[in-house]
């Protein structure tokens, strides 16, 4: 299993890293749109669609993404979209987690499909816009989620006692969440120092938050981003538990599905842009 995970990660990095550093953002946008479209296919399957209809979900998202990329207004005019997505994740995520896995299948299937496609589409567009801002900014946003996940894993294993959401994800603990938050704050301090001493193509998320809100509010904003990443992770776990599957698919050997790798990023990407878009 470990060998599969490493091999898959290396292949993905070999595809992703060259697009990250290209002058044009289009190769990065198209590659990530392909991945998010595969996640849309997984979403259709998780919600009971037949294979042709599930593939239709992926096709619809791909076409919508290309059309949006061509016709979208400048990023500063989309601030309302990022805040709307943030509000939807805070309110809707709280309602879904409170209701639990048993209530999800009771929602009308068209509503569930539309909700998932909308969340994926907004997250992909936020990802594309973050790449346009700059590589340093994009990586800092992604690393918030990755650091929170890694620190939560090790902190939870070492100190985890109180279960966070045992009916949804029994392995997660409050101590793990706290460890993830601490890890992100350490990452922020290191990245701020990096921004001060190394010339980059853009200010990182951490530098932008500090300049815009000050240190204390930056800390609160980062803690909020970690919290919303946990909501995204738990939301996908809720869906999988509701339909009785372990992974969203087997597309990524050793990792599960694309949606399994994107779940925590889905709310963080628009929320980060909401906090930093002027």
Domain that holds residue 30: 2-276
What mean pLDDT is predicted for residues 119-126?
96
Number of domains in the chain: 1
Q: Is the pTM of this model over 0.85?
A: yes
The pLDDT confidence band at residue 1, using thresholds 50, 70 and 90, is: low
| Separation CA 116–CA 259 (nearest Å) | 11
- The pLDDT of residue 2 is 55
| Separation CA 254–CA 150 (nearest Å) | 17
pLDDT digits (tens, 9 = 90+) for 23-79: 888 999 999 999 999 999 999 999 999 999 999 999 999 999 999 888 777 767 789
Q: Six-digit token pair at 51?
A: 């294979």
* 3-state secondary structure at position 126: helix
Q: What is the DSSP string of 68-121?
A: HHHHPPPGGGGHHHHHHHHHHHHHHHHHHHHH-TTTGGGS-HHHHHHHHHHHHH
């Amino acid at each position: 299993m470990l060998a599969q995970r490493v091999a898959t990660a290396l292949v993905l990095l070999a595809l992703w890293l060259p697009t990250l550093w290209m002058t044009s953002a289009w190769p990065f946008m198209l590659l990530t749109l392909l991945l998010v479209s595969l996640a849309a296919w997984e979403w259709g399957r998780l919600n009971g669609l037949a294979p042709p209809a599930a593939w239709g979900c992926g096709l619809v998202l791909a076409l919508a993404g290309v059309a949006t990329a061509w016709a979208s207004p400048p990023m500063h005019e989309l601030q309302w979209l990022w805040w709307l997505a943030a509000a939807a994740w805070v309110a809707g995520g709280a309602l879904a987690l409170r209701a639990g896995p048993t209530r999800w299948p009771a929602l009308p299937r068209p509503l569930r499909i539309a909700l998932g496609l909308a969340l994926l589409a907004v997250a992909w567009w936020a990802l594309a816009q973050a790449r346009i801002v700059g590589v340093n900014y994009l990586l800092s946003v992604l690393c918030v989620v990755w650091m929170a996940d890694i620190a939560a894993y090790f902190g939870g294993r070492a100190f985890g006692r109180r279960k966070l959401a045992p009916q949804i994800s029994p392995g997660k603990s409050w101590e793990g969440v706290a460890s993830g938050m601490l890890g992100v704050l350490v990452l922020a301090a290191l990245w701020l120092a990096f921004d001060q001493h190394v010339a980059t193509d853009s200010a990182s998320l951490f530098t932008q938050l500090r300049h815009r809100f000050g240190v204390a509010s930056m800390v609160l904003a980062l803690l909020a981003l970690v919290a919303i990443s946990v909501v995204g992770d738990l939301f996908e776990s809720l869906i999988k538990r509701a339909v009785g599957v372990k992974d969203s698919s087997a597309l990524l050997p050793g990792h599960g599905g694309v949606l399994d790798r994107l779940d925590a990023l889905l709310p963080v990407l628009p929320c980060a842009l909401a906090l930093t878009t002027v």
